[in-house]
Structures are given as C-alpha cells and as structure tokens.
Structure 1
Amino acid sequence: MVKRSHRNILAFTTGLSLITAMTPGVFAAATPEQRKEFVLEEILVTAQKRTQNINDVGIAITAFDGKTLKELRFTQPSDIASQTPNFSVANLATNIPNFTIRGVGVNDYAINQGTSVGSYADQVYIASPAMMLFQMFDTERVEVLKGPQGTLYGRNTTGGAVLFNSKMPTEEFEASLDTEYGNYGRYVLEGAVSGPISDTLLARVAFNVTKSDGYQENLVTGNTHGGIDRQSWRVLLKWLPSADIDFLLNAHGGVDNSSLNSVNVPGVGGNTASGGTIDTANGVPYRDNDSYGVSLIANWDMGQVMLTSVSGFEKLDRFEYGDTDGLEGDGLIDQILISDIEQFTQELRLASNGSGPTNWVAGLYYGRDKIIDSTDYPVTGAGFPPAAFGLPSSYATLDVLGNRYTQISTSKAIFGQIEWDFSDQWKLTAGLRYSAEDKEFNDVTTPWIAEPGPGESGPIDSGLMFPAADYSADYSAVSGKIALDYNINDDAMVYASISKGFKSGGFQGTLVFSPANIIPFDEETVISYEAGSKVTLLEGRLQVNSALFFYDYQNLQAQGTLAGAAGGVTALFALQNIGDAEVKGFEIDVQALPVEGLNLALGVGYLDSKITDPFIAEVQKGGRPALSPKWNINGRARYEFDLNNDMYMFVQGDFNWQDNLFLDIYETPALQEDDYLLINAAIGIASEDGLWAVSLWGKNLSNTEYRVSAFTGGVAGTVYGYGAPKTYGISASFNF
C-alpha cells in the first residue's frame, strides 16, 4: 500500500484552492482553437432540464465533455469517480458498482435496491445497480450533480445524480474509429457513423468491442480471471417532421461474456493472484449477460412552452457464476446469480421557452420495474447441518441454499420548479415534488438441497425453508428546493440553497431463513444546506469554484447484521435503517490555462461524516459511514505544443489521492483501507485538423495495491476485492 505520506501535497493544494475561492467545476480538454484563443472552453449542461452554461447554474456540478472522457480513458460509469471530488465507488460481492457522493450511498450488494445516487442514460432513469455495468462509448458529456435531487429527476435521490449523454446525430456526415492495444491482452475497437438520411431524418450508429485476458492469476489452477469480453451498440434516429416537432429514437444493447475475478483471501496472493476457483469445467468464474433497451424522446415547441415526452424501456438478462470465498473447489460458498430485470419509464413535462425573467418546468413521472431474482449458494464446504435450520434431511450437510423473490416497484411523481430573475443580479429558484412508490415483494422463499456425501447414500433431498410469501409496502414524500443566486458581475456568482431528497424504503434482497427476517425498511431523507460560488478570472483562463455543505441525514440505509437470523450457524446481512447521521464538508475545483497550451485541473474534497444516532448495536455513535474518506484530491495536467503546421504533441498526467476509509459500516479494523495514490499518464501526437491522434498511455503507473471492496463475518470469512494493477498500451483514433 502507498503510505500516508501526502500531507504536504494536501495542505498545499487545499490552501491554494481556498485562497482562490473555487467552486465545483468542470474538466474540459483544450482544442486547437483554444490554444489559439487562449481561453477555457464553455461547458453546457442540462442539470435543470434546459441547456445552460455550467457557471450560470447554482448547483454543485462536475462535468466531463466527450474529448476529456476519451483522453482520460473513462470506459465505465465508475471511472468518473477518479476525477470527481467527494465521489467514491465500491464494487460489491455481486460485482455491481455502488456510487457514494458526499458520504451518501447504499453499501448493499442486492440488485433490487435503488441507489442513493440516481443514474440516467440519455434522460432515462436506471432502476437497478446491476444495470450500471454498461460501457461508456461515443459519449458527448457526463454530468455529476451533487446533493439531493428532490425536484426534477426521476426517482427522488438523496446523494445526487449522474447524467450520461450520448453523441447525437449530425446534419453533416462524420465518422470516427478508435482502437487500442494494451497489456493483459487488452483490445478495444470503437466506431461511429453519423449524418443525414434525408432532409428530415438524421442517424447515428455507434459500437464498442472490448476484450482482455484479465490480470488475476489463480494459484490453484493457473487460469486467468477477470478477462473482459463485451460488445455494445447504439442506433439513434432523429426525425424532424416540422420546424416545431422532433423525435429521437434510441435503440441500444450489449452482450457481456466476461470472466470474473475471484475474491482474495488475506495472506494468500496479492491483487493479481487468488487461491480461489469454482466447481465448473474451466474453473473460471464468469458472466453471461444480455441487455437491450429503447427510448423515444419527443419535443413539441408550442411557442411560449415546450412539451417533452421521454419514454424508456430497458431489459437485462443476467447470469453470473461467482467465486465469493477465494477457496479451491467447492470451498465454503460460491454463488450462481440469475436475474431478469425489466423497467419502463415515462416522463411528461412542460417548460417555458427560456425568454424573460421567469423560467419554469412542470411535469409528471411514472416508472415501473420488475426484478425476478434467483440466487443459489453452493455451500457444501461450509458444513452446515440441515438440522440446525430445522430441515428434514438424513444427510450431514447442506449442499445448496437459495434466495428467490420477485419485486415490482411502481413510482409516480408530480414536480415543478420556477426560476425568477427578480433583478439584474438576483435569482430565486423554488421547486417542489410529490413522490409515491409502491413495492410488491412476492414469491419470497429460500430453497435448499442436500445430497449424499462421503459414506452416505440415497436420493437428493430438497425443499423450501418456508412457504413462498408475498409482502408489500407504500412510501410517499414531499421534497423540493429553494435557492438564491447572486451574480456579482458577469464573471462571478454565489449561491445558497436548501434542498430535501427522499429515497424510498423496501425489502432486503439478500438471503433469509425465516419470514420473520423479511422486514421492510423505511425511507431515508437528506436535508441539505449548501452555499457555493463560481468565479471566472484572468480573462477566461481560470475557473475557480467551491461549495460548502451540511447534511441532516435521517434513517440512513445501509447493510447491517440480522441478529440470530441463521439459527446461530452464521450471520446474515440485509439493508436496513442503521441510524441518523450528519455530513459536513466542502469541495474545491479549479481549471486553468496558465500558459498557452497548458491545461491544469485540480479538485479537493473534504468530508466530516458521522453517525449521530445509531439504531443497531453494531454501529457506534460518532462512527463513519462506509466509503466516506475525510480527504480526497484529484488533478490533471495536459500540455500541447505545435510540432509544425499540421501536427501537435501532447503530454498528459492525472492523479487521484484518497484518504483512508472504511469499506463497511461497522468500522471493522481489517476493513479500513489506507490512503492511496493512483497516477496515470499519456504521451502522443495528433493532427491540427483533428483527423487523427496516436498515444501511449499507462494507468496506475506505481502499481499501487488498493481494495475496492471487502467483506467479513459471513460464511466466506474475510475476503477482499482489489482494483486493477498497472496497465499500459497504445491507442489511435481517426475522424472522417
């Protein structure tokens, strides 16, 4: 591990940032035109359901344009955390990412739990974290909205929202092709073609193929784990039947046949080696996932108002055979995950045309998702006697325990927001939303199988620990926001806001051994008090941004222990309300062009997050929630200089430093991850006209070992999951 030796860097960057009074900002890459104009590029965002300059919006936002995403080699949603202050990601036991913004997130591995950080792909809400494993390709922009999103966005969220925006069809023909080769057999091919089909119909087709051999060596079999085998595609059709009406059809899908990493057992191997294997023909854990979706966005400009409809359907068929104990053969416990997820969403909204001192938006939202989950846990090696669970078997041990349920969630909301410029310098924003969610948790049961072991004979025993049962719960809340912006001049603004976010309760989707364990948990709420500023200096060459916030966090949802739920054999874990909390902190971001061709970016985040009123015995008063590092710093530098009139060269580096944090809510000493520093770099040449570029790149150049997940207290004992080791390669891109 990288030792805690960066305090001087921390003090220097924090002091510098405070002196320059920054605000939550944006990372944008320099273009040849910028080098000539010597000014930062304007970034447009849609955080308030209309297009605005990021520096005119009184919200803490970090945004990445498509060029920067490519330069930083961000390929999956979780990558954006490395350059976003106060944003953490953990990959949990079921191989799904868990987003946490400003200490607000859900550290649960069940796929039926909505996240505290809402994610939206081309305006469509993503219902399950299991659907967050998609590839980012042909992307126009990613926006990270920090703080409760209690007014305008989909399913009300307490932590924030992440908006993924694809590149749109163009009126002129264009095409691109990107390819990449790297160590561990990494290969990427990505392409897009866009242009008009007729005077009223535009189209864009994009695809991505990513493959690799993986970097984790199995110490028992010699096989390699963690290889990637993904293919993704997207087709966009934009129809403009008249000057006032347009439609955008978005069809997309993907296949993921990747192998999976095994977990690591402490003291066995390192982050590139594991003692684990699973009882399959090739001994490599794997997934076989298929996903597809379609959305239709319609806009009707009626003069004074715009009517917008956003309809979306998404489906994921999921199969994963995972190693969760890092042990040879049957080991203690593995898992077979079979899930079928479908979601439909519909949003209707009316918005003013953006002229005059008042702008408003009002709308209706409806969402329905259905999750059918079937999980089997092979537990032969755990030695669980059926009698301990009250099961009628003559065999010494259980072979399989299962988890079955069907969850149907229905969400409805009505919302509105108004912005009033009541003077040349002052703007008042007020928003309100009523949300109602109904959850049905049906066919819940725990199947079991016992087979004859050594010295035993007879037929297979199987059955249900309890008859399949049905449950339901309803949740509703009023949330919203009030904010005041003050424009000091054309280059500086300050803002203050109070907002409330709501995340509904539900039912745990993890293993249970009795109906008594199926207890619905309550909704969580966050009331946020925030103040910030956005300042442009040095004639557009320096953007300095800051935000200061305090959260009143009620009924925090996190994974806790179900005491005695497993008949004394082992502990079970489930999402529940573990306590109330307070979160205090700030973010500072800067982007600068100090000299021609040099683009610098720096972000600093600070969190003081603690439990103020614990509800369960395992959580201590004053303890830190999971994934809440006190300090985090990221930065980026890119220098471009002309080689001749046709080409320029670039040198780039970026880093991400994270303070120590706990990977669980219990502050288990073994699950405290030390601070670590990740360093990436690239060097290359490109044409001035943007037609081609070639680069050599490396990530995690110091080969730092760091954990992204950890678990203890269950059947598998203590196990870890590590981030990627040093990787490097060459990439080339071509535009036509």
Structure 2
Amino acid sequence: MLTRHSVTAAAVALSCFGPIVLAEQAATANRDDVERLEVFAQRRGQDLHDVSVAVTLIDGDYLQQRQLKDAVELATLVPNFIASQAAAEGTTPAFTLRGVGMFDYNTSTVSPIAIYSDEVVSGGANFLTGQLFDLERVEVLRGPQGTLFGRNTTGGAVLLRSRLPEHQFSGYFRASAAEQQSYRLQGAVNAPLGESTAARFAFNWQDYQYSMTNLFPGADGGGMEQASFRLLLSSEWLGWSLLWRLHSEHWSGQPKPVYSAGVFSDLASGERCSPAEVGSRHCVDNFGFSVPSDDYWTTSANTGHKRNRTDSWGTSLQLERALSDSVSVKSISAYKSFNRFHSWDADGPGQFIEGILGSDNEFFSQEVTWFWQQPERFWTAGLFYLNERLVQGNELDLFRDFRAVPELAAVPATFIYRNRLQNEAMAAYAQMEQQLTSDWQLTAGLRLTDEQTRYHANADLDTVAFYLNDFWDLSGKVSDTEWTGKLALIQRLNPRHSLYYSYSRGYKSGGYNAGFSSSPEEAADSAYDPEYLHAWELGSRWRSADASLFWELALFYYDYRDQQTFVNISSGTAPYHVLKNAGDGRVAGLESDWRYRPAASTELQLSVGYIPLAKLGEYRQGDVFVSDTRLPFTPKWTLGASIEQQLSIAKQALNWQFGVRYQSAIYFDQYQDPYARQDGYALWHGRLGWQLSSDLELALWGKNLFNQKYAELKFDSVAALGAYTQLRGEARQLGIELSYQF
C-alpha cells in the first residue's frame, strides 16, 4: 500500500502537488469518522479539520524523491505559487502566492511570504533561500497569516520542520549524480545520548553546473557548490522540553550567465523585432550584438570574473513546559548571521551594466507563546520581538567599456553604496478557538504589531573625470503600528464533509528600498508605506465513504490597499527601480484538488489553481503611469497532475511516479509588456525506484523530461542596451540515486 500522498491540509482549502504520510487509510476506510491528519498551521499539532487555514502539506521524503534543493523549488508543488531567483541564483528569491508577492533585486526587501524554519521567522530577503534536506515536512500556508504568523505575511507562510532527534541509533546516506555535472550527497545520523537526550546531525552537499553554454572567451556556463549542515539536540530537563538547533550554509560559485536578447531588426531605423522573434540571431541590441546561436541554452556573457560566496550560520533554543494540566508555555530564541558577495552581469557580452551585491546581516528574535486548553475553548497568546541589522556594500557599474573611448568617456559612472538598515519589530497576539455547537467552530484572532526601520543611505560616485565622496548621505526612519487579525467559522455538514468561512486582515510594514539609485533625489524617494490586505475565503472538503476519493476546494477574494509594487522605470539609460504603494488592487481565484485511490497501490491526483482577477492598483510618478494591469508573476492557471504506483516484481518493490506542473502565461513586469511575457508551459517529471533490499534503494529520476524551453526572468533593458535581459530555465536533467538506511 502507498504511504505517500498529495492532500491539502486544512479545513480551509485543498491539497496540492505534494505527497504526505497518512495513517493507515485501509483501516479507516469503513469508519464514519474523518481520519486524523496532523498539521501545525496554528502553532501546535491539530487535526486538519480543526484549522481554518489553507495549507499544502508536503512530506520530507517526497521532497528528496523530486530532487528539490531549495525553497524556491517548493513553488512547483503548490497551486497559485510562483517563485524565481530575481537576479540569478545566489541573490534574493521572489515569491508570489495567490498574486501576492514581491519581485525585487534588493537585499533590503522583506517578502510578504515568510519562511519559518523550525518556528524561527526568516526575516529579510537574504534569509529566504534555505536548502531542503532532512525535513519531516513542509507546510505552505496560503493567504494572510495576520495573527499567529503575523509579521509581514500578507501572502502566506512556509513552515519548514526538521526531522527531530529520536532515541535510537539510525540514519541514512544518499548519493546522486545527474546531467549538467550535478552531484549530491546527503545524510543524517541520529544518536541517543542518554535516557532523555538525543542528537541528530544532518548534512547536504551539492555541486552542479547550469544548462547554459557560454561562448564568451574565458567564461563558462556557471555553477554552484553548496554545503550545509544542521545539528539538533533534544532533551528533557527539570520539567522542560529543550530543542537546540545549530545550522550553517556555505555557497561558492559563478552566477548563471544572462541571455541578452536584442530587440531591433533594423538598428538604423529603430524598427523592432516582434516579441516572438526576440532571441533570434537577426535581432540586435544598441551595439549591434546579436545572440551567438539559435540554441536556446547558448549565450555569450562576460561572466568569467563574476563570483558568488555566501556564508551563513544560526542557532536557536526552544524551551517548552506544561505549567498545569491545561496550560503550557513555549519560548523560542534565535540568532542568525549572514554574509554574501555576489557580482553580476546584466548585459551579456559587454561591460555596460554590471555590479556587486554585498550583504552583512545579523538577526535576533525572541518569542514566548502560551497555550491554554479549556473544555470547549483553546487559547493561543504570545509576545514577539525581532531586531535585524543589514549593512550593504553594493556597486552599480555603468558603461565601463566607454571609459577607453575619449568621445564617450563622460558617460560611464560607478556608484558605490554603503547602506545601513536597522529593523525592529514587536508584537502581541491572541487567538481563541471556540466550539459553538457540535457542528460549528469559531476562530477569532488579533495581533498588534509595532515596527520601525531606521536607515542610513550613503553613496560615492566614480567617473573618469572625478571621484565624488558622499554623492548623497541621508538618514531617516519609517515606523508604523497596526492591528491585524482573523475571524473564521468551520461548519461540519457531516463527518465526511465540512465548510469554512474566513476573513483575515493582513499587513506588511513600510520601509526603505536601499537599491540602485543614481541620484540623491532617487535615494530620498526610496521610502515606502505599509500595505494592507483584506481577504475573504470560502472552502469545502469532502471524502467518499470508502476514503478512496478526496475533493477539496478554496475560493478567495483579496482587497489590496496601498499595495507595495516594484516598478521598473525604464525611460532612462541608468537602471532605476522603485518600491512604491500602487493603490488598491484586487485578486480573486480558486484552488481545487482531486485525489483518487482506485487501489491500495495506486494514486492519481489533479490539482488546479485559477486566478481570473489579479488587478494591479494605480501608480503614477512623473512620466510613469501604471493602472489596471495584471499583477506580475501571476498566471491565470496552474495545474499539477501525477500518478504513483507501487508494484512487486520478483519479490522486490518497484515504485514509479510520473507527473506534470503547468502554468499559463505570466508577465515579468507591471506594464503587461509583450516582450516581458512568458507563455504557458509544462514541466514533466518522473521517478523509478527499485527497493533492492530493506535498507537499499536504487532510483532513476528526471526533471523537465521533454526539454521545455522557458524563461525564469525577462527584464526591460531597452533604454540602456536595446535588449531584454533574460535568465533561462534549466534544460532536461536525468539522474541516478542510491540510498542506504541503517
């Protein structure tokens, strides 16, 4: 019988795209009660029928089987979820969930989708990308989490839960090799250290190249080496449960080379190629360059000297104690440190737009939560504090190739940025879950957040003619205090069918966008205000009497106020991006999942996300005007389908999986620019696992099986380069893996 399945874990919504471990369903098939599936969407273990949060629950073993390596790739398992590396791997990722997201290159950005690793919030953008290894589960909470996960989670939250230490000696090792010179080693060792103490050490190492072939002399297609470890220690001490966590990550490599696609069919007349022609060899940029080959994954980019190096580590201490039979308390203290150097190229073969992203980040948080169980009521209340410091050492180097040309020597400029940001947030929250009758349950929650960001922005300007210290030097503070919360009802129509009705108010704080400004006026205009999201949601969950068929549905409508929007102002030759409050947007859509088990050894699953309305609010600044356009990175349709079957051949287990993820067309910017559009595409995946013995498995796997061509990013660089800068997705990859458990 299969033990891994895809379901949506929430009374609110549907499951999508990610198998999880269920209790023995065959044993419950004839029971009239709903089987129990534990989720942690409300900060404690609960039956999914008792929570009013839309959750996609993904089993940690399935993540390994799909060869998913980091949080960005989780989006392939969740409906209406899109993620990408904003400026190539090694930079901050961009997440969009149900149309709510933040696309920005800037390391000072705070995403509206937060990541919680063992209940510690991610903080700023630098902490969003974590490696997926040795996880028990992942829960993706869809929709505003304005009470229990209230800091800047207007879009949702991703909960990563590590495998905890156990009181027996055990572990595993996995080795994988694949195309693109891809190698991976994973493992974990679990060891008891006494009657009440145990430790678990897990590691992940991977070394891989990208699909791109780079024809520029002295450069290659880039690649990354990543090494991570995690040490967990659990113990019982004087009535307290203790969990200590230490983790570290080290990255080094060369960024993925960009693809600079000229837009002119005739440079002299300025006649443009059509959007479909851009990327072909007869289209040129402002300098007469065309792409070097008709092969989709071949480029010419001056990236031989570009590098990425990231070092991070952190620790946390979780203490929990039962104060009485009905009251318990949990304390979580965390510290993280992050340092990154990332040099990048945005122009292809020239030296026209290049730069450096340098970050020195420190983070501290403290949270105390109380849980109080009453006969028909449950209370969760807490206090939260966060302090985060970011020091940026960024550079923007414009038109360096012109420095050697006397007639053009006045054009090049290099901006050297030294920015400091200090973010402090405090919150108090409480949530009550009240059983009104045998059929109705009420959830009511409220959170008060006080947040402030202090910033000091400083920049020098280097030209051929002069070096100007302190081209600008300014300081300021952005602060706000806001209420958020939730009101929801769960209605049980019968033991196999329930509905939920939910209203949530989400909030994301204001701040300072310490990006690539090119004048004091632009730097002074980089503060932005909070955004607010009012979300209404209706959901249904149903299963058949024999438990072979599940159907779950969520309908949602979002009312955005003062929506924070990343705007690429493309009218000047110097890149200028602002993060501004773009008015009142609207989002409406649904998510639905069907999961069918015709036999104990077979499962079929179909999940659908649909967002027909994703309207961007109005933004006006100078010559820039945006209104009534579709939200970037928001496809109208997402679809996931899969089949999994377990067979027995010659008394050995054979497990095979085959599936697809489809997303319809998206725009990469706020203008609905046809040149910055990615048509719909489907990525197919598969796996064939052969259980050689009880502790040894050999597996063949594949990603993008049909070699689909798609772009992860298209960016308007026409004013400066006469081109659209692209990052292209990965080609087909086939691999083999050997796993050993002890």
State whether TM-score is above 0.5: yes
Question: Would the alpha carbon gap of residues 571 and 400 (structure 1) be closer, same or farther in structure 2, given more than 3 Å must change?
Answer: closer
- Residue 659 (str. 1) matches residue 670 (str. 2): no
Task: Please give the secondary structure, in 1, of the residue aligned with 2:607.
Answer: strand
2:250 alignment partner in structure 1 = 255
After TM superposition, the structure 1 stretch with the greater mean CA deviation from structure 2, 554-563 or 146-155, is 554-563
Change (3 A) 1:359 1:687: farther
Contact 1:35 1:597 in 2 (8 A): no
Correspondence for 1:711:
715
Residue 405 of structure 1: how far off its partner (Å): 0.7
Using a 3 Å threshold, how does the CA distance of structure 1 residues 612 and 191 change in structure 2: closer, same or farther? closer
**Counterpart in the other structure of 2:55:** 61
Give me the whole-angstrom Cα distance separating, in 1, the residues matched to 2:376 and 2:405.
71
Q: Return the alpha-carbon distance in structure 1 between the equivalents of residues 122 and 22 of structure 2.
A: 36
Counterpart position of 2:383: 364
The alignment status of 1:435 with 2:449, answered yes or no, reads yes
Partner residue of 1:694?
698
CA contact (8 A) 1:65 1:141 kept: yes
Q: Deviations over 1:194-249 (max 9, x none)?
A: 1311112110000011012332211122643231201000000011114x311100
Give, in whole Å, the separation in 1 of the partners of 2:598 and 2:213. Answer: 45
Which among 708, 729, 737 is matched to residue 731 of structure 1?
737
- Answer yes or no: is the 8 Å Cα contact 1:120–1:163 preserved in 2: yes
CA contact (8 A) 1:23 1:535 kept: no
Q: 1:31, 1:115 → 2: CA distance?
A: 30
What's the CA shift string for 1:164-194, capped at 9, x where partnerless?
1111001222111111010111110000011
C-alpha displacement at 1:147, in angstroms?
A: 0.7
2:365 is the counterpart of 1:345: yes
For residues 667-678 of structure 1, what are the structure 2 equivalents within 5 Å? 667-678=672-683
Shift of 1:489: 2.2
Q: For the Cα contact (< 8 Å) 2:460–2:470, is it kept in 1?
A: yes
Give the partner amino acid of 1:477: E
Q: Does the CA contact (< 8 Å) of 1:34 and 1:41 recur in 2?
A: no
Which residue in 2 is equivalent to 1:45? 39
> What's the offset of the Cα at 1:55?
3.8
CA shift, 1:41, in A, is 8.6
SS at structure 1 position matched to 2:356: strand
Q: Is the 8 A contact 2:415 2:518 kept in 1?
A: no
Residue 64 of structure 2 is matched in structure 1 by 70
Q: Is the 8 A contact 1:509 1:574 kept in 2?
A: no
Deviation digits for residues 253-312 of structure 1 (CA, Å, limit 9, x no counterpart): 01100221111112324552221113xxxx153211101000011001112211100111
- CA deviations 1:325-359 (Å, max 9, x no partner) are 1124xx21111221101111111110124x62101
Paired residues for 1:230-245 under 5 Å: 230-242=226-238, 244-245=239-240
Output aligned runs, 1:298-697, within 5 Å. Answer: 298-303=319-324, 304-328=326-350, 331-353=351-373, 356-381=375-400, 383=402, 396-442=410-456, 444-451=457-464, 461-464=466-469, 466-517=471-522, 518-519=524-525, 520-561=527-568, 569-611=573-615, 613-616=617-620, 618-645=624-651, 647-686=652-691, 689=694, 691-697=695-701
CA distance 1:33–1:426, shift in 2 (3 Å): closer
Query: What amino acid does structure 2 have at the position aligned with 1:396?
Result: A
C-alpha contact (below 8 Å) 2:167/2:197 kept by paired residues:
no
The answer as to whether partners of 1:83 and 1:603 remain within 8 angstroms in 2 is no
What's 2:270 paired with?
none
Deviation track 1:376-426 (CA, whole Å, cap 9, x = no partner) reads: 1222437499999xxxxx963435222221010001111000000111111
CA RMSD of aligned residues (A): 2.6
Is the 8 Å Cα contact of residues 579 and 616 (structure 1) preserved in structure 2? no
Q: Is 2:187 the partner of 1:191?
A: yes
Partner-residue secondary structure (3-state), 1:70: helix
Give the Cα separation in 2 of the matches to 1:490 and 1:28. 25
Letter in 2 for 1:486: Q
Partner residue, 1:25: 15
Give structure 1 stretches of 5+ with no counterpart. Answer: 1-16, 389-393, 453-460
User: What SS does structure 2 have at the residue aligned with 1:579?
Assistant: coil
Aligned mates of 1:438, 1:462 — CA distance in 2: 34
Task: Flag the 1:664–1:385 CA change in 2: closer, same or farther, 3 A.
Answer: farther
Distance in structure 1 (CA, Å) of the matches to 2:668 and 2:318: 40
User: What is the Cα deviation at residue 695 of structure 1?
Assistant: 0.8
What is the CA distance between 1:33 and its match in structure 2? 8.6
For the Cα contact (< 8 Å) 1:625–1:665, is it kept in 2?
Answer: yes
- Cα 1:128–1:384 change in 2 (3 A) is farther
Question: TM-score, normalised on structure 2?
Answer: 0.88
Picking from 81, 87, 111, the partner of 1:87 is 81
Deviations 1:135-173 (A, max 9, x none): 110011110111111000151321111111111001222
How big is the shift at 1:465? 5.5
Shift of 1:536: 2.2
Residues 260, 284 of structure 1: 8 Å contact kept: no
Alpha-carbon separation, structure 1, partners of 2:405 and 2:127: 36
Helix, strand or coil: the match of 1:290? strand
Contact 2:609 2:639 in 1 (8 A): yes
- Cα distance in 1, alignment partners of residues 20 and 229 from structure 2: 28
Equivalent AA in structure 2 for residue 291 of structure 1? S
Alpha-carbon distance between aligned partners in 2 of 1:658 and 1:421, rounded to the nearest angstrom: 40
Q: Output the CA distance in 2 between the equivalents of 1:80 and 1:28.
A: 9
Following superposition, the deviation at residue 660 of structure 1 comes to: 0.5
Structure 2: gaps spanning 5 or more residues:
1-6, 262-278, 280-290
CA distance in 2, matches of 1:41, 1:729: 37
CA distance 1:562–1:705, change in 2 (3 Å) = closer
Matched AA of 2:471: F
Report if the CA contact (8 A) 1:83-1:635 is conserved. no
Partner residue of 1:145? 141
Structure 1 position 215 matched with structure 2 position 220: no
The TM-score with structure 1 as length reference comes to 0.89
1:106-155 Cα distance to aligned partner (Å, 9 max, x none): 11111111101111111111112222232110011110111111000151
Change (3 A) 1:226 1:602: farther
The structure-2 alpha-carbon separation of the partners of 1:421 and 1:85, relative to structure 1 and needing over 3 Å to count, comes to same
What one-letter code is carried by the residue in structure 2 that aligns with 1:490?
Answer: P
Partner SS, residue 546 of structure 2: helix
Mapped contact 1:156–1:435 kept (Cα < 8 A) = no
What percent identity do the matched residue pairs reach?
29
How far 1:69 moved relative to its partner? 1.5
- Which of 318, 343, 348 is 1:297 aligned to? 318
Displacement of 1:26 in angstroms is 5.3
Structure 2 residue matching 1:438: 3-state secondary structure = strand
- Residue 466 of structure 1 aligns to a residue whose secondary structure is strand
Q: Tell me the equivalent position of 2:288.
A: none
Task: Rate the CA distance shift 1:692–1:31 in 2: closer, same or farther, 3 A.
Answer: farther
**Aligned equivalent of 1:100:** 96
Q: Distance in 2 between matches of 1:193 and 1:81?
A: 29
Match for residue 282 of structure 2?
Answer: none
* Kept after mapping to 2: 8 A contact 1:85/1:604: yes
Question: Secondary structure of 1:80's partner?
Answer: helix
Pair 1:563–1:676, CA change in 2 (3 A): closer
Q: Describe the superposition over 1:57-98 as per-residue Cα deviations: whole angstroms up to 9, x where unpaired.
A: 222110101122122222211111112110011221263211
CA contact (8 A) 2:111 2:152 kept: no
Letter in 1 for 2:15: G
Q: Deviations over 1:603-630 (max 9, x none)?
A: 1001123436412264543210101111
Contact 1:362 1:417 in 2 (8 A): yes
Contact 2:12 2:54 in 1 (8 A): no
Name the count of aligned residue pairs.
690
User: Whole-Å Cα distance in 1 between the matches of residues 692 and 544 of structure 2?
Assistant: 30
